[in-house]
Chains A and B, each alone.
Chain A
């Protein structure tokens, strides 16, 4: 009897593990629903249409910034300059609006973000610098440039265009307008990752760079395109985020950097490359946002909240890695 249960238990665990490995999104959905359930239990009636809209609204910039992390992590890299790129885009755009008008300002704002991406790509692809160092360095340089730039435009003031504010904060039929930008982008990224050659190349480079090089892939082209794309997405995120916050500052998006890495990791993307996808990252961003609300509601001191936040990230990742490892 005891022997039988002992045999059965690892078997069920193994089955759960295999099921999770085949459908990596399901435990994340369960976790998300669980968190929402706890929230509803703590403060009955809080989960309504308005709350859901707000949660999505704040999760979207995080999920977009986490897209940069997800894509670069698939190749075994990381983009720590994404938040700075987003901040620069937002700040340059907002300060250029009074001078050159909205459409041109948006274009000018996106330029530095793409440029940063290209520099990152050049360093990673051609000079073979570790992505962590490269993106950290460009982020540092860009922050300095932004501070110098600020002193030249301090007189002209800044304006957040109505269109971006509408996109960032407005809602139509209860749903935030930012979904208009986010849904096509997410679909495009997921489609690109799963179905296009570029997406497959990312997984291939992340799994085994030498093997893919020998199979005829030119890594430098892929890396250059990847980091430029990451910069562009970060720039767009910045524009959306300034529409949400409505006050451009020199550290606007920076607090989102580490959560964006966390969102990608919780979503099941391996930091060593080759495994993961954007679907999980979106769920990761939602989980982090709900978790943030939950911790705010707990009325604990700020310090305790941060401790809990860190511990939960760690626990979730541990469980996730254990579960997906078991089926191997």
Chain B
């Protein structure tokens, strides 16, 4: 039991913060209930997928600055394909969008491996490229989302307090992450993030693993873009604020920048916490700009504490 707690200490801490925040929310707004949960969950969805995308590459020892741009590409592609599409076409559109996400991620990864340019630089350059692609697909916000697909993330599931969008998130992440983590590929991703040279000498195909990690990142980004289109009802070619938000959620979630440590559950709890804080501050009718300050401060303070603790730990 104690081993379980030390192993998942960070996640458990985050979870208790989340519970405290929910209690606080209930105190601020006594009528906070099913509909509040639903809107919170729906607002979190794109952020959560962006965070999952970022978490995978950070665990693999990299970083992807182009997450938000890839989401924009996926979002506009979905909006264009679904515009006036029938049932069959919608399914095709979803599959196409997910494949495009995989391809975009794989291109990022392949470029990093082939050019041997640092990942920050490659994804910085690709940020412009994907942004440009999104603008070429759709010059201004437009397109549409198929109504029945939109119903997939609106409203409660079975019981009134369980939002469909939350179930959607859990199912998608679990379908991708759980098999991945248990497979050889997942182990390889942790290995190259922890120590690339050691992984190489142990027979891990470093280049291929890195490309796969970026491809999974692209897949999550595509899901993020898709849900964004579903929740707004149209495609938006200008990338949203998902880069900063995903990096901060990943770090808050206990994934070490530099790779090899962490999982996907922590970052997703962290992203919900960040959204909930934002909602609480809005409920308390605090200026939304102050909310940005609070968010940034939480992130910096937590990271500073984490840094000091890690440093102390190393010195002992």
Asked if B135 and A302 make an inter-chain contact with CB atoms under 8 angstroms apart, the answer reads: yes
Chain B contributes a number of interface residues (CB within 8 A of A) equal to 49
Chain A interfacial residues counted at CB < 8 A? 47
Knowing A144-B289, A321-B117 are in contact, say whether A303-B132 is a contact too (CB < 8 A): yes
Q: Does B116 contact A (CB under 8 A)?
A: yes
Using A127-B307, A310-B127, A321-B116 as known contacts, say yes or no to A141 and B297 having CB atoms under 8 A apart: yes
Complex alpha-carbon distance, A304 and B304, angstroms: 41
Residues A306 and B117 in contact, CB atoms below 8 Å apart = no
Within 8 A of A (CB), among B128-164: 128-129, 131-137, 139
If the complex has contacts A310-B127, A321-B117, are A303 and B303 also in contact, measured as CB distance less than 8 A? no
Residues of B within 8 A of A302 (CB): 132, 135, 139
Contact A148 B289 (CB under 8 A): yes
For residue B118, which residues in chain A have a CB less than 8 angstroms away from its CB? 270-272
Does the CB pair B129–A130 fall under 8 Å?
A: no
Tell whether B115 is near chain A: CB-to-CB under 8 Å: yes
Question: Is the Cβ of A314 less than 8 Å from the Cβ of B126?
Answer: yes
- Complex: A284 Cα to B141 Cα, angstroms: 34
Task: Write the nearest CB–CB distance from B51 to chain A, whole angstroms.
Answer: 14
**Is A246 in contact with chain B by the CB < 8 A criterion?**
no
- Is B120's CB under 8 angstroms from A271's CB? yes
In the bound complex, residues from chain B placing their C-beta under 8 Å from that of A141 are 292-293, 296-297, 300
Cα distance A309–B124 in the bound complex, in angstroms: 11
Measured between beta carbons, the chain A residues less than 8 angstroms from B248 are: 133, 136-137, 140
- Determine whether the beta carbon of B136 is less than 8 Å from that of A127: no
Which DSSP category, helix, strand, loop or mixed, fits chain B's interface?
helix
- Tell me, yes or no, whether B81 is within 8 Å of chain A by CB: no
Name the residue among B116, B294, B303 with the largest chain A CB count within 10 angstroms: B303
Known: A144-B290, A301-B135, A314-B117. A307 touches B258 (CB 8 A): no
Is A258 positioned at the interface, with any CB of B under 8 Å from its CB?
yes
Known: A127-B304, A130-B258, A262-B124. A144 touches B129 (CB 8 A): no
Contact across chains for A321 and B115 when beta carbons are under 8 A apart: yes
Q: How far is the CA of A143 from the CA of B299 in the complex (A)?
A: 14
Q: What B residues does A123 contact at CB under 8 A?
A: 300, 303-304, 307
Cβ B308 vs Cβ A304 within 8 A:
no
Could you tell me the distance in whole angstroms from the C-beta of A135 to the nearest C-beta in chain B? 10
**With an 8 A cutoff between CB atoms, is B54 at the interface?**
no
Contact A132 B132 (CB under 8 A): no
Q: Are A261 and B124 in contact (CB under 8 A)?
A: yes
Residues of A within 8 A of B304 (CB): 123, 127, 129
B residues less than 8 Å from A282 (CB atoms): none
Contact of A128 with B311 in the complex, beta carbons under 8 Å: yes
Among A151, A301, A318, find the residue whose CB has the most chain B CB atoms closer than 10 A.
A318
Given A148-B287, A305-B132, A134 and B257 contact (CB-CB distance below 8 Å): no
Q: How far is the CA of A103 from the CA of B135 in the complex (A)?
A: 44
The smallest beta-carbon distance between B302 and chain A, in angstroms, is: 9
Question: At the interface, yes or no: B111 with Cβ under 8 Å from chain A?
Answer: yes
A55 within 8 A of B: no
User: CA separation between A317 and B300, bound complex, in Å?
Assistant: 32
Distance A174 CA – B289 CA, assembled complex (angstroms): 44
**Does B212 sit at the interface, judged by CB under 8 A?**
no
**Minimum CB–CB distance for A84 against chain B, Å:** 11
B: residues with CB less than 8 A from A are 63, 111, 115-118, 120-122, 124-129, 131-137, 139, 244, 247-248, 251, 257-258, 287, 289-297, 299-300, 303-308, 310-311
- 26 residue pairs A–B, Cβ–Cβ below 8 Å: A123-B300, A123-B307, A127-B305, A130-B257, A133-B303, A137-B300, A140-B244, A141-B293, A142-B296, A143-B292, A143-B296, A144-B294, A258-B127, A301-B136, A302-B135, A303-B135, A303-B137, A304-B136, A306-B135, A307-B129, A307-B132, A310-B127, A313-B121, A314-B111, A314-B117, A321-B117
Which residues of A are interface residues toward B (Cβ below 8 A)?
78, 123, 127-130, 132-134, 136-145, 147-148, 151, 258, 261-262, 265, 270-272, 301-311, 313-314, 317-318, 321-322, 325
Closest 6 CB pairs between A and B? Answer: A310-B128, A303-B135, A306-B132, A144-B292, A140-B296, A144-B293
